[in-house]
Amino acid sequence: MSKVLVVGASGTVGSNLVKNLRAKGHDVVRATSSTTPGRDQVHLNLVTRVGLDQVFDGIERAFFLSPPGHTNQHELLIPLIDKAREKKLDKVVLMTAIGVNASDEIPLRKAEIRLEQSGVPYNIIRPNWFMQNFNTYWIKGILESDTIFLPAGHEAKASFIDARDIAAVAAALLDSHQFDGQDFDLTGSESLTHDEVAELIAKVTGKPVRFQDITPEAFLDNLLEAGLPPDYAQFMLVIFGYLKQGANERRTDAVEKITGQKPIRFEQYAKDHRQAWV
């Protein structure tokens, strides 16, 4: 088995990925921004690059993603990719986001290109919007007023994906060379409007949860009030604009192709996370 570095190990995808890799017998090292890392952790600050020279010691394979809140993701990821090349890693899996390959000028696409040209065996995974956003980022409105407040429109659908499926895909790719050199758009098996999402959460919780379409300006105010950097808040507006235009409705079979399991459906996700909303 391999010694695997997981960047973003404390996040929604990363924490599940760590469990999956350990279940497969891999020795996992969790990257952390904490200056007092634990026994299985190593310090890494992607913004300052502190720890970059030490984080790959003994590492054979790695999972990379950019931390949230940054729009210059390529500036954070490319040093990781370059170091992976220098260390001759056996495999790298990079997680970006669905749609970033629309233009080579998009920051995450710049990171993808660097990995593609690195000579390191790789996979790129581009997940759609996470189901888990509804029990984390968008939870305040549900708890305070039984309402999902987003500028998503009532007609646009998205093929939301469970973060557990993303982690399962990443673990399978890190465990094998079967799909080397390929990129995958990851989606759920159904496309839902936000009204349908609200109905499913309401069904599971027994609460009168509904969706309210809000203006981009109101959404921006909410993001800034929550403390997001202004440039990242503007970035969120842009990608919600794409969602409202229908860009996130498409579905793929990548999850089942790679893991052999059908994606988790939204109703199952809602049942599993019911306690977050009640």
pLDDT tens-digit readout, 164-219: 999 999 999 999 999 999 999 999 999 999 999 999 999 999 999 999 999 999 99
Count of CA atoms in the C-beta half-sphere (13 A) of 154: 5
Q: What is the pTM of this model?
A: 0.96
Q: Which of 71, 85, 263, 101 is nearest to 182 (CA)?
A: 101
Tell me the C-alpha distance between 131 and 128, whole Å: 9
pLDDT tens-digit readout, 138-173: 999 999 999 999 999 999 999 999 999 999 999 999
pLDDT at 1 over 90: no
pLDDT tens-digit readout, 8-18: 999 999 999 99
User: If DSSP codes are grouped into helix, strand and coil, which group holds residue 132?
Assistant: helix
User: If DSSP codes are grouped into helix, strand and coil, which group holds residue 272?
Assistant: helix
Q: Is the Cβ–Cβ distance between 8 and 14 less than 8 Å? A: yes
At residue 94, the pLDDT reads 98
pLDDT tens-digit readout, 23-57: 999 999 999 998 899 889 999 999 999 999 899 99
Residues 90-108 have a mean pLDDT of 96
Q: Is the Cβ–Cβ distance between 42 and 29 less than 8 Å? A: yes
Place of tokens 């502190």: 50
- Strand partners of residue 148: 211
